[in-house]
Amino acid sequence: MPFANLKVPAGLLSAEEKQRLVTGVTELYVETFGERARPNTMVLVEEVTDGGWGVAGQVLTRAMLQQPGPSGG
């Protein structure tokens, strides 16, 4: 069974955005493994508590992740 576990900051995504992620990841698995993968593909969108993760030794918060990048985006 194809399985994807997507970890996202709690409260960051709307229900519609989560649905787009689930649909998109499922489609990627179907493109890779064929239509037979669709009924068995599980996508878990797991919300992580604010400040509950880090990168490169630094704890990340939702506010930090929402700041515009260097290109202003």
Query: Is 2 known to be catalytic?
Result: yes
Can you list the pairs that 16-21 forms with residues at least 24 positions away whose Cβ atoms lie under 8 Å?
18/45, 21/45
Catalytic position from the list 2, 9, 39, 70: 2
Supply the residues annotated as catalytic: 2
